[in-house]
Structure 1
């Protein structure tokens, strides 16, 4: 049986540290991200680099470069640039002008906070208060919520629209006007790319409010651009907006590695995903677990739809073995690669590769990373023991922007990033994530992993989705499930069946003492992660109305 130990992963028994290959990034990370991208676009001047699935518009590297330069020069004429303390916010979908606006910001050295157009005013204002943007790029349909959020945050930024014209607001088209100075453009010199911020990406916000994660130019080059495998011959696609790391990965990997990106402003639907994969012969696909599940269970997908796929990657939340195997039935002879990573360093610190996967794992350490599993006192644990996963690499977590304690409890004095996840390594170098430390709860002093209960419930034929949370009781937290039933099983599956199933398969302290409740859907982040705090609120409301 294949395993990564002593080939791709190494274990030091004296320190109990696992490490990946000591491999350096392909591109020098100590440089301006904007300068690197402009060089890549110039090198690929005649190559097709972007295709809009919505309009059919095709853009070469040379055209993208010219748009980037014009946007940067026109923003400079408006008084914005790296010499100021500007931060821009982008609340946009994957439209035709998204990439050149982002690249122009990199070229000017202006950090960009990326948010999703589905955000409402409360979530927008929360981020605005932390970041204090001077310019906001937003979709026309997001304008009303954006204005309201600015009022709540007491800020008065310039708002530039990426969609249809609205009286009194600038349009992004204005930024692409001819300057006559295009050939004289030189990107802003970044003196310290390791520290100079490029992107403020949101933490997942599944257990609390999102925070603005600081990503430097060096982190974006070393980590994001090496996150996902792309070839110049690839057509790369993801539904994710730039709010989520997978969207940023496709933008940067696809561009820097010379692939052709397929973009759409439309949101995910299984039938749309299949149509785009077929029509544009997508070869490098990045999807979330919920999207993969939707495709597998749509009843529409066939192996012949995926003949163009060379590399498929799934991450962002837990990918079950059953989902991985089910999706691979659509990829004869190929694999759905899974990964585990952190927004805080914009990297998948472990990943699977072909046959190098073991059921239930998240792969093995990626090149340039180190791992330990520690107990509550910070002591390193042996293989096979559950504890908190901590990791570190060449470029450390830079903190959360706009917070009094920018590192919180994430980074220790030795540079270890504390994930808040509970997991273990096996003797062959595979990492297993048991649960979120903050999502675990206790009953009679026994630790309960929601994921373990969810896996049992998810096995039931009539269950489409499930989330288990701890609901405060006296004196313990009570395991409680919120279940989405498949349409054809709504009448035949009841709470008692689910309770009995869990009682039969799990020990007493893991039983669903809080009960089982049903909903039409689970609350999700824009990238498909379950919002457990919202699930808890939904269950509490259902309890109150019972």
Structure 2
């Protein structure tokens, strides 16, 4: 089906995937390619909703896409205006995304778990003129828009509420569907999507991905065929969810969708029911699947490829899951939102090592030390990535946009790793303070900035505690110096953070009260020492 391979230039100390010329002209839009694929596959079933059994063919999605685009044009929405989206994987999500792209309107995808602080932060930057959201999100979204003075119209999935309209209103016949042509775009310089990417402040950054970069990334991720059945619980707020939507459409596969919350039992039943051949999971899903009694009797014979992303998968988990896949294997995936796709994939997964695999087509990586010098084989350093089309940067954040590139226009990932002599990439650490919990990034500084506002807290340092099961990444933990006279409790701190931030920021590593924090002469907290002592206290609690 596909294969990844890495070559190494000893002189340049540069690792590269296969050098494949971009398939699409840089000025073509994502919409043009998707409409062509939808027309090509015609009556074949493109999507099945496990929620209600609704099946949509490629033809039906294409017609809904065209009608939605034309009806949005009737409402006088114009190219380059930003549309916002807060939604699960429901049956009408795909045509709404495609229709927005048809108009040259970048989609700003927001997380359904975002709190008010995060939503306002994103909307303030991207200033959407139209919002699409699940009906359950309407009240919160309306509150945020009113606070910002943004008069964007809201269209809702799952009915209507307040002054919203159901998205179905956009699927009304126009009588000139056959005449539709997508808006022309500057493929290399105009954003197709604006996805969430956490940054040094902890609040989501708005990563702009161009049409050219997105198409190149989807083509680079050449997984899936006409006969495949694809399952991914990933939401389109992240690049992973968009990748599966676009790749599945491009290759003519059938996608299985659901708005239900992931559980081992749900995934296993869907795989059996629809004979899923390709699935994508977060690493912590694998741990929970392995603990499920249903796995022992589940028929996973249809599953050929099970991709795992978000954090490193321990060998024991990969091997354990492989024992249940009679016709398939588990494959590690490594990538980042800013490159719109995967940089490496452990396929065919025969290395037997804790590696993220060989490089994808068109990917170039250098490893640099703290002085910026290029490293050789087996030498750890920061992983720096370059693709065919440059990342557009972060909306409203020029400093972060500039800082992510080095002088050679490589994206600095913030990950520490190395290559072995066979071209396998290993990710071993994080250079920055930011860490990941279950694939989602957590910023200590943002949680600290919030907690320090409390009159009961004098000093605070947030660190990541390695998950003892080696699955979830790091567990956020807070080390606190109480203010004089304060008796603030662990539960109060836990509730404060849980009520203000998204799920990944919850202090699952615990809250620890101390008399003082170790600091440098310049009054900076020594995080390394705090982390070391907190890990010891965490382990003592566990024991």
Q: Which moved more, 1:21-30 or 1:431-440?
A: 21-30
SS at match of 1:211: strand
Residues 434-513 of structure 1 mapped to structure 2, 5 A cutoff: 434-439=428-433, 454=466, 457-458=468-469, 467=474
SS at match of 2:139: helix
Partner of 1:489 in structure 2? none
Unaligned runs of 5+ in 2: 436-462, 482-493, 517-540
Query: How far apart are residue 535 of structure 1 and its match?
Result: 3.4
Partner of 2:175 in structure 1? 180
Paired with 1:106 and 1:345, the residues of 2 have a C-alpha distance of 19
Q: Which residue of 293, 299, 311 corresponds with 1:299?
A: 293
Deviations 1:473-513 (A, max 9, x none): 99xxxxxxxxxxxxxxxxxxxxxxxxxxxxxxxxxxxxxxx
Partner of 1:498 in structure 2? none
Partner of 2:531 in structure 1? none
Q: Is the 8 A contact 1:303 1:331 kept in 2?
A: no
Query: How far apart are residue 405 of structure 1 and its match?
Result: 2.4
Residues 180-259 of structure 1 mapped to structure 2, 5 A cutoff: 180-190=175-185, 192-204=186-198, 208-227=202-221, 229-259=223-253
- Relative to structure 1, the CA distance from residue 471 to residue 97 in structure 2 (aligned partners, 3 Å threshold; closer, same or farther) is closer
Partner of 1:539 in structure 2? 511
Using the size of structure 2 for normalisation, the TM-score is: 0.81
Paired with 1:37 and 1:230, the residues of 2 have a C-alpha distance of 15
Paired with 2:160 and 2:136, the residues of 1 have a C-alpha distance of 11
Q: Is the 8 A contact 1:356 1:363 kept in 2?
A: no
Using the size of structure 1 for normalisation, the TM-score is: 0.81
Deviations 1:361-391 (A, max 9, x none): 1112212111111111110112222111111
Query: How far apart are residue 151 of structure 1 and its match?
Result: 2.9
Paired with 1:122 and 1:542, the residues of 2 have a C-alpha distance of 29
Q: Which moved more, 1:16-25 or 1:242-251?
A: 16-25
Unaligned runs of 5+ in 1: 442-449, 475-518
SS at match of 1:282: coil
Query: How far apart are residue 466 of structure 1 and its match?
Result: 7.0
Paired with 2:289 and 2:57, the residues of 1 have a C-alpha distance of 31
Partner of 1:107 in structure 2? 102
Partner of 1:78 in structure 2? 75
Deviations 1:338-360 (A, max 9, x none): 11111111121111111443422
Partner of 1:446 in structure 2? none
Partner of 1:37 in structure 2? 34
Paired with 1:354 and 1:390, the residues of 2 have a C-alpha distance of 24
Q: Is the 8 A contact 2:311 2:473 kept in 1?
A: no
Indicate the RMSD between aligned Cα atoms, in angstroms.
3.1
Q: Number of residue pairs matched?
A: 476
Paired with 2:474 and 2:201, the residues of 1 have a C-alpha distance of 13
SS at match of 1:300: helix
Partner of 1:338 in structure 2? 332
Q: Is the 8 A contact 1:88 1:133 kept in 2?
A: yes
Residues 305-324 of structure 1 mapped to structure 2, 5 A cutoff: 305-324=299-318
Query: How far apart are residue 226 of structure 1 and its match?
Result: 3.4
Query: How far apart are residue 260 of structure 1 and its match?
Result: 0.8
Partner of 1:364 in structure 2? 358
Paired with 2:170 and 2:503, the residues of 1 have a C-alpha distance of 38
Within the alignment, does 1:412 sit opposite 2:423 as a pair? no
Paired with 2:81 and 2:138, the residues of 1 have a C-alpha distance of 21
Residues 369-384 of structure 1 mapped to structure 2, 5 A cutoff: 369-384=363-378
Partner of 1:516 in structure 2? none
Q: Is the 8 A contact 1:349 1:366 kept in 2?
A: yes
Paired with 1:543 and 1:274, the residues of 2 have a C-alpha distance of 49
Residues 380-399 of structure 1 mapped to structure 2, 5 A cutoff: 380-399=374-393
Q: Is the 8 A contact 1:397 1:411 kept in 2?
A: no
Query: How far apart are residue 118 of structure 1 and its match?
Result: 2.2
Paired with 2:503 and 2:382, the residues of 1 have a C-alpha distance of 21
Q: Which residue of 9, 12, 15 corresponds with 1:15?
A: 12
SS at match of 1:305: coil
Query: How far apart are residue 253 of structure 1 and its match?
Result: 0.5
SS at match of 1:407: helix
- Relative to structure 1, the CA distance from residue 214 to residue 541 in structure 2 (aligned partners, 3 Å threshold; closer, same or farther) is farther
SS at match of 1:223: helix
Paired with 2:416 and 2:49, the residues of 1 have a C-alpha distance of 41
Query: How far apart are residue 207 of structure 1 and its match?
Result: 7.4
Q: Which residue of 57, 60, 66 corresponds with 2:63?
A: 66
Paired with 1:137 and 1:538, the residues of 2 have a C-alpha distance of 37
Paired with 2:198 and 2:261, the residues of 1 have a C-alpha distance of 19
- Relative to structure 1, the CA distance from residue 361 to residue 466 in structure 2 (aligned partners, 3 Å threshold; closer, same or farther) is closer
Q: Is the 8 A contact 2:383 2:415 kept in 1?
A: yes
Within the alignment, does 1:146 sit opposite 2:141 as a pair? yes
Q: Is the 8 A contact 1:40 1:256 kept in 2?
A: yes
SS at match of 2:287: helix
Partner of 1:486 in structure 2? none
Paired with 1:338 and 1:256, the residues of 2 have a C-alpha distance of 23
Q: Which residue of 415, 421, 427 corresponds with 2:415?
A: 421
Residues 110-149 of structure 1 mapped to structure 2, 5 A cutoff: 110-149=105-144
- Relative to structure 1, the CA distance from residue 236 to residue 207 in structure 2 (aligned partners, 3 Å threshold; closer, same or farther) is farther
Q: Is the 8 A contact 1:303 1:330 kept in 2?
A: no
Query: How far apart are residue 322 of structure 1 and its match?
Result: 2.0
- Relative to structure 1, the CA distance from residue 168 to residue 355 in structure 2 (aligned partners, 3 Å threshold; closer, same or farther) is closer
Paired with 1:224 and 1:317, the residues of 2 have a C-alpha distance of 21
Query: How far apart are residue 301 of structure 1 and its match?
Result: 0.7
